[in-house]
A and B are shown apart, each in its own frame.
Chain A
């Protein structure tokens, strides 16, 4: 078993919180893990990505080879497309549709959505809206993680446990909000994955 995952977003969007949760769940099930992060200059509002690799055997490279990634998980729609060269032919694209516009030449939303729709295996949802409807605007990243959960090769209950461990210090209410967000994302993906 192996899952090579590209996490994508814009500097400051907190993609590493998704990596941390998947990582905690993977480690708990005894899987191997490598996670290459981006620090430094590009964190200032530029495009950022992280290579997250989990496997039931030792992992060699910190970087995922082009054309071999199983999943792109993106918290921003345009950024989800930037990493297509890394995705394998049968790979899945999971993305938030809420744009983060900090450049003047951001493409038209309909063109962007057409490109995403054009890509076969995809789950696209407005995670910010879903999170807001749940009364937890800050849990959009958990919605996205939930939407990716059917493709991770990790039991959903392990992800839920990881959320409980990571957010436990912040109190039961925060844990519940994040678990709800995770579930909402998962429900959406299960309903739309075929």
Chain B
């Protein structure tokens, strides 16, 4: 198949997984990983039911489902953003101990410079922590090829494989050439019936196996062709790149001829033989990593007594943030280039809630209802509604991680900050809010929990929300009194009624749940458009 497709890095991964005979993909949406699963969901393979594709309630449930599919001998993929890997960390790390049966790839999309995230953690650290092989593609074609390789490796070595990508690869398009398609695996349970039972006696055995395999992982890293050493005449410096940093290095040499020896790293564990080669032949080393200075730190060692290592730790490259061609140019001692400065009249234009968004009303009403209390008692969460932190709302005081609104409000209420208010979206509530709500119910904490129900996962583009149509049932099911669950219409038309309920529940000395419910304006507009289209197509009946 020599047909070239223009694909986002995310889409290249998705297309490769389809072509490599994957049977199921599991994910929770999160920028910049969302398009992988969306692409598979829209494929004819998924729509015809050959591939299971859809959204899980959170990354942990997604990871476990994928592991379950791998257990049966079929190929599975699970996708998330970097912070999602924290949520999935328990099954993720233990999956290295159980090992895989059918090929299993975990894709974690990191977001250096935090374009759409609360931190810029580097998933390679978690890969190393789990003692798992890690693939870090350098471009879209490489990402496509590595998925095929990753599934093979996972099955041959009996280990899940972590694929780490970053924003600029995930959300950039380039030409990709497909490989031949491969059939899906049949069900074929593990030969060793104890493999997936991590009782201490078995786990100890499995863990020893995993440690023994490290050498094999490294030998695969050496022979796969993804890690490449290229010699150069000028030995005053050796350059090591990881992931897409390699592209920024090449960008600075228009003729693509680099005078220095270069080691391109795209697969971990990094083969010692290649590192030795560049280290021994050069006077100093420059490490260019898109992410944390992981390789740099291990090259320096604790005491940094060896050759000079340049990178993020000695200030040659900024300590935080994503790389770009200019940062790499400066690190190489080249001249920086820069156009004219931004004229001072250009104002900043931060993202904002859409015109007609139901959250606008909800925040205005909440702020009014809270006016008799001191400020600083609204604990919010991850989603569009985090924009309530900005002008003109200035309505929330925290945003930390998925679900933290409810539990932080509980902790503050426990400390005596009464009333404490949690603001959480419907999808985030399903993701990680329910367990916190149980904590509140158990101790009758005085928290008012607003579940802003826009009936979708809005921030990432309108994916299904797992709690859709079930929020009140979930709340009563975990023990919230029916008398303290209210569904509001978040519209100025119902303002007096809404305000009265809010004020009353803020005074209530127990758990109350208030659900302002109106569909996200973006998905609502999309639905209107789709309906119009459907109507304009003449019916055959």
Q: Which residues on A are within 8 Å of B, measured CB to CB?
A: 10-11, 23, 27, 32-47, 51, 58-69, 78-79, 81-82, 84-89, 91, 102-103, 105-108, 111-112, 115, 119
Partner of B325, one of A27, A34, A45, A63: A63
Q: List the A side residues contacting B352 at CB < 8 Å.
A: 44-46, 102
Q: B341: CB under 8 A from chain A?
A: yes
**Chain B residues within an 8 Å CB radius of A61:** 247-248, 250-251, 324-325
Q: B326: which A residues are within 8 A, CB to CB? A: 65-66
Contact B325 A33 (CB under 8 A): no
CB distance from B399 to the nearest CB of A (A): 12
Please give the distance in Å from A6's CB to the nearest CB on chain B: 10
What chain A residues lie within 8 Å of B168 (beta carbons)?
36, 62-63
**Cβ–Cβ contact B116 & A84, under 8 A:** no
One of B179-187, B295-303, B331-339, B437-445 at the interface: B331-339
Among A69, A103, A119, residue most surrounded by chain B Cβ atoms (within 10 Å)? A103
Interface string of B145-177 (1 = CB under 8 A from A): 000000000000000000000001101111100
Contacts of A37 in B (CB 8 A): 8, 171-173
Contact A46 B350 (CB under 8 A): yes
User: Contact check: which of B6, B342, B387 meets A84 at CB < 8 Å?
Assistant: B342
Partner of A115, one of B169, B175, B345: B345
Task: Please give the number of chain B residues whose Cβ is less than 8 angstroms from any Cβ of chain A in the complex.
Answer: 49
Q: A40-B460, A84-B339, A91-B339 are in contact. Are A112 and B345 (CB under 8 A)?
A: yes
Q: Establish whether residues A85 and B6, one from each chain, have CB atoms under 8 Å apart when the complex forms.
A: no
In the complex, what's the smallest C-beta–C-beta distance from B111 to chain A, in angstroms?
9
Residue of A27, A44, A62, A108 touching B244 (CB-CB under 8 A): A62
Does the CB pair A35–B173 fall under 8 Å? yes
By beta carbon, the residue of chain B nearest A65 is: B325
A45 proximity list for chain B (CB < 8 A): 349, 351-352, 354
Closest chain B CB from A99 CB (angstroms): 11
CA–CA, A42 and B352, complex, Å = 8
Instruction: Evaluate contact between B341 and A85: CB separation under 8 angstroms.
Output: yes
Pick from A40, A66, A86, A88: contact of B116, CB under 8 Å: A40
**Contact between A111 and B345, CB atoms less than 8 A apart:** yes
Bound form: Cα–Cα A38–B349 in Å = 15
State whether the Cβ of B369 lies closer than 8 Å to any Cβ in chain A: no
Q: Is the beta-carbon distance between A34 and B349 smaller than 8 angstroms?
A: no
Question: How far, in whole Å, are A42 and B348 apart by their CA atoms in the complex?
Answer: 12
Ranked nearest first, the 5 interchain pairs of A and B with the lowest CB-CB distance are A67-B337, A40-B116, A40-B31, A46-B351, A60-B250
A79 to B4, CA, bound (A): 33
14 further A-B pairs in the complex, CB-CB below 8 A; given A40-B115, A43-B351: A32-B175, A36-B171, A41-B115, A44-B387, A46-B352, A60-B256, A63-B325, A65-B325, A84-B340, A84-B341, A84-B343, A85-B339, A103-B348, A105-B347
The 8 Å CB contact of B346, one of A67, A78, A108, is: A78
- Most chain A CB atoms below 10 A, which of B8, B169, B340, B459: B340
Contact B342 A11 (CB under 8 A): no
* In the complex, chain B residues whose CB is within 8 Å of the CB of A64: 325
* Chain A residues in 8 Å Cβ range of B273: none
Rounded to whole Å, the gap between the CB of A84 and the closest CB of chain B is: 4
Q: Which residues 224-247 of B have a CB within 8 angstroms of A?
A: 244, 247
For residue B370, CB closer than 8 A to chain A, the reply is: no
Given the complex of chains A and B, what is the CA–CA distance between A125 and B250 in angstroms?
38
7 A-B pairs within 8 Å (CB atoms) are namely: A33-B174, A35-B6, A40-B31, A60-B248, A60-B250, A66-B338, A78-B346
In the assembled complex, the CB of A156 is this many whole angstroms from the nearest CB of chain B, namely 22
A39 close to B387 (CB less than 8 A): no
Q: B459, A40: Cβ atoms under 8 Å?
A: yes
* Nearest CB of A to B199, in Å: 42
Say whether, besides A46-B352, A62-B244, A103-B349, A87 and B339 are in contact (CB < 8 Å): yes
B349 nearest CB neighbor, chain A only: A47
**Cβ contact within 8 Å between B337 and A42:** no
User: Complex formed: what's the CA distance from A167 to B459 in Å?
Assistant: 29
CA distance A61 to B251 in the complex (A): 6
User: Known contacts A33-B175, A44-B353; is A39 also within 8 Å of B32 by CB?
Assistant: yes
* Residues of chain A contacted by B453 (CB below 8 angstroms): none
